[in-house]
Amino acid sequence: MDESVTPPSTPLKRSRFRFGTKAETLEALRPWVTRATILEAMHFSVSEWRGDPGSVLESLGSRFGRVRVVVRSSATAEDGAQDSHAGRYRSLLDVDGASERAVIDAVEHVIASFDGNAADQVLVQPMLTGIAVSGVITTRVVQDGAPYYVLNYDDESGRTDTITGGTGVNKTVLVHRRAIRSVIQSPRVARWVELARELEFVCGEDHPLDIEFAETHDGRLFILQVRRIGAARRWRKDVATRISEAQQYVEGFLEERSRRRPGLVGSRSIFGTMPDWNPAEILGTSPRPPSPSLSIGDSSQTTPGVSREPKWATATREVRLLVQIGAPMASTSETASTRSFREAWMTTSETALSMHGSNGSTLSGASRQGGVRDRLHSG
């Protein structure tokens, strides 16, 4: 079985999944999910709360006892196929479930953030503690639908709302959707991707997903929310094909440039951020397009080449020492592939190569262990 398509432990027979409100979706997912836990929950509508709040409070007490809870919005306009309205409605964390007054206040705060629809719901769950990581996984790049799992996470604060609230630590990893388990080097990233794949299988792969999750210090995974990505309707349908073609070109480019270069020592060339000479000191950290040729000049007269001459004789005078990647195009006659990934200079020696993107950032290449293909696939 291809582990990149269907998680092996997922039940294979299921009816077509139906999304609902936040609360309804979590309830529907619970029987199907095997790679994470969905916390026990209770939800009620605004009309139910207004009609008999005492009965609702009694049910909450019977369900959760005196534990601390989170009181969350689950509005009918929230988490829809077209718009998520993320952040529009209130949710309150760490509410004292033993205090009736605290629960009432929390429910009223959530309801006050709604739009007046009596069918809107309030979702109550026990407060999750011992959090090591919290984050959001999208099964495509939200901006354009590119075929990557995007994992934004916080592994420092111990909170569940830093990523969704845009505060605190935010780390990001991208994993290509076709990447197999063996090339994902981080065990925890692999677990998160496997969870996303299971949810895709359950919900249907025609639904790009936005998944809120948490992992506790003992390694257990929890699903906090699953919704469709509303921006999907604006994506280009050919984005996956275009990126696949670009990836093939990039992989071929790196593979060819990693080979041994005549006249240079060593069995292969590698990409590095700090070679034995530092072109950033010559070109600057944000070079404009003409800068490499103006600063380096003809390859036979490069400062690095001349400085190596006592050690390497005249070999380096015939090898260009810099590759520029992602630079603006100098000619309109270049091919489509070179327009997205153009070589300006030949690769450098066994020990290092500096690469500068069009945004001025320094890019690191493949290490000796793992290889170019693994690094690209694992994000």
Q: What is the pLDDT of residues 41-65, one digit of tens each?
A: 999 999 999 999 999 999 999 999 9
| pLDDT given at position 233 | 81
With residues binned 3-state (H G I as helix, E B as strand, rest as coil), the percentages for the chain, rounded to 5, are 35, 15, 50
| pLDDT given at position 300 | 40
| pLDDT given at position 158 | 80
What is the DSSP track for 249-309? HHHHHHHHHTS--TTSSSS-----SS-SS-HHHHH-SS--TTHHHHHH-SGGG-HHHHHHH
Q: Looking at the whole model, is its pTM more than 0.75?
A: no
| pLDDT given at position 245 | 86
Check if the beta carbon of residue 89 is closer than 8 Å to that of residue 110. yes
Q: Look over the chain and give the mean of its residue pLDDT values, rounded to a whole number.
A: 75
Topology match between the domains 1-38+129-235 and 40-127: no
Q: Is the pLDDT of residue 363 over 50?
A: no
- Residue 331 vs residues 264, 328, 336, 339, 342: alpha-carbon distances, Å: 30, 9, 12, 9, 11
The dihedral region occupied by 220, where left means phi > 0, alpha psi between -120 and 50, and beta the remainder, is beta
- Residue 322 vs residues 24, 64, 348, 362, 365: alpha-carbon distances, Å: 56, 64, 6, 13, 14
Domain 1-38+129-235 has CATH 3.40.50.300: no
| pLDDT given at position 313 | 45
Render the burial of 288-304: b for 16+ CB within 10 Å, e for the rest. eeebbeeebeebeebeb
Q: Is 157 or 348 the better-scoring residue by pLDDT?
A: 157
Residue-wise pLDDT for 267-278, tens only, equals 888 776 666 666
What pairs with residue 213 in β-bridges? 135, 223
Hunting for tokens 């997903």 — which residue is that?
A: 209
| pLDDT given at position 163 | 67
What CATH number should be reported for the domain whose range is 40-127?
3.30.1490
- In percent, the amount of the chain with pLDDT more than 70 equals 63
Check if the beta carbon of residue 63 is closer than 8 Å to that of residue 69. no
Residue-wise pLDDT for 77-110, tens only, equals 886 666 656 678 899 999 999 999 999 999 999 9
CA dihedral 304, 307, 313, 314 (to 10 degrees): 50
How many CA atoms within 13 Å lie on the side-chain side of 161?
12
Q: Would you kindly state where each structural domain of the chain is located, as residue ranges?
A: 1-38+129-235, 40-127, 239-378
Residue-wise pLDDT for 196-237, tens only, equals 999 999 998 888 999 999 999 999 999 999 999 988 888 888
Sequence-ordered list of residues with C-beta below 8 angstroms from that of 280, at least 6 positions apart, any chain: 354, 356, 362
Burial class of residue 219 (count of CB atoms within 10 Å of its CB; 0-12, 13-18, 19+): exposed
| pLDDT given at position 42 | 97
Q: How confident is the model at residue 377 (pLDDT cuts 50, 70, 90)?
A: very low
Check if the beta carbon of residue 257 is closer than 8 Å to that of residue 347. yes
| pLDDT given at position 117 | 94
